Amino acid sequence: MSLTSTNLNNVFPLLSRGKVRDIYEIDSQTLLFVATDRISAYDVIMENGINDKGKILTKLSEFWFNYLPIENHLINKDIFKEYPQLEPYRDQLEDRALLVRKLKLIPLEVIVRGYITGSAWKEYKKSKTVHTIPIEENLVESQEFPTAIFTPSTKAEQGDHDENISPKQAEKLIGKELCDKLSTTAIELYEKAKNYAKTKGIIIADTKFEFGLDDNNNLVLVDEVLTPDSSRFWNAKTYKLGESQDSYDKQFLRDWLTSNKLDGKEGVSMTQEIVDKSRAKYIEAYEQLTGEKWE
């Protein structure tokens, strides 16, 4: 069975339900992030979920939080020992809930692109730019950039769409100094993760980070990190320059929705075949990157 929604019966107030996460407020400094098995495509959440997806995302994020050399928002405590009132909800929370610090969020999706694909490829074909940044090289689809680039987007309110913006527009939103720091930090994190993933047979084409600021204005890595939901993972064995690649994320779901003319429509339930194939892809990414068997 998949878990598509949580209900803690007001033990702690629910702050929001995102596309995947339910977020509860423990106190003024602490949040509880619960990754459900919800899945969305074309900005629409499906009626049914992918079994264990939330647990896989949680475990993979924990792996990367531990691997990357930057402060993160995790509070490493047993939630059931710390908050015994959550014990009756163990079946909803175990292996999919993270205790995190409440921070001042930076209102940007911090996207780093190492390879040209997706919306960046579409823009490049039209104007030889990516997020309005001029690209001098003659690139083909799925080619690696000479150096990874920072291509931010706005962080939309729930229900709205994120909007691709240029680094200059990002500077106007948050200031040049912070924007430069974000760009440098995000590219360094991406490069470290990309180089590691290559040793495991996975290409990280691009990824989205989110950051907050602590009381001393230090950058802190937040949200999820380097999962199939926040990144584009490709299989290095099947990678072919000059064409689109199969991804480890929602490829089966997107293709199925498109072929059935269901893309962007509400109230859609996935077939069991799509659920099973998607789950297998999430597990494959987890096992390859962590070296651990998914039980």
For the chain, the helix, strand and coil percentages under 3-state DSSP, each to the nearest 5:
35, 25, 40
Q: Strand pairing partners for 115?
A: 144
Evaluate whether residue 294 is within a structural domain. no
Tell me how far CA of residue 255 lies from CA of 96, 135, 174, in angstroms.
28, 30, 37
Q: Is the pLDDT of residue 122 over 80?
A: yes
Evaluate whether residue 235 is within a structural domain. yes
Q: Is the pLDDT of residue 1 over 90?
A: no
Residue-wise pLDDT for 12-39, tens only, equals 999 999 999 999 999 999 999 999 999 9
Domain harbouring 39, CATH code: 3.30.200.20
Q: Which candidate, 263, 230, 233, 272, places its Cα nearest to that of 50?
A: 272
Q: Is the pLDDT of residue 158 over 60?
A: no
Residue-wise pLDDT for 230-249, tens only, equals 999 999 999 999 999 988 87
Evaluate whether residue 278 is within a structural domain. no
Evaluate whether residue 254 is within a structural domain. no
Evaluate whether residue 212 is within a structural domain. yes
Task: Give the model's pLDDT for residue 161.
Answer: 65
Residue-wise pLDDT for 49-91, tens only, equals 999 999 999 999 999 999 999 999 999 999 999 999 999 999 9
Full residue range of the structural domain in which residue 56 is found? 14-102
Structural domain count of the chain: 2
Q: Is the pLDDT of residue 160 over 70?
A: no
Task: Give the model's pLDDT for residue 251.
Answer: 81
pTM listed for this prediction:
0.93
**Same-domain check for residues 96 and 119:** no
**Same-domain check for residues 79 and 68:** yes
Quick one: average pLDDT of 169-175? 94
Q: Which residue, 248, 263, 290, sits at the end of a domain?
A: 248
**Same-domain check for residues 95 and 174:** no
Domain harbouring 123, CATH code: 3.30.470.20
Evaluate whether residue 256 is within a structural domain. no
Mean predicted lDDT score pLDDT of the chain: 94
Evaluate whether residue 295 is within a structural domain. no
Evaluate whether residue 291 is within a structural domain. no
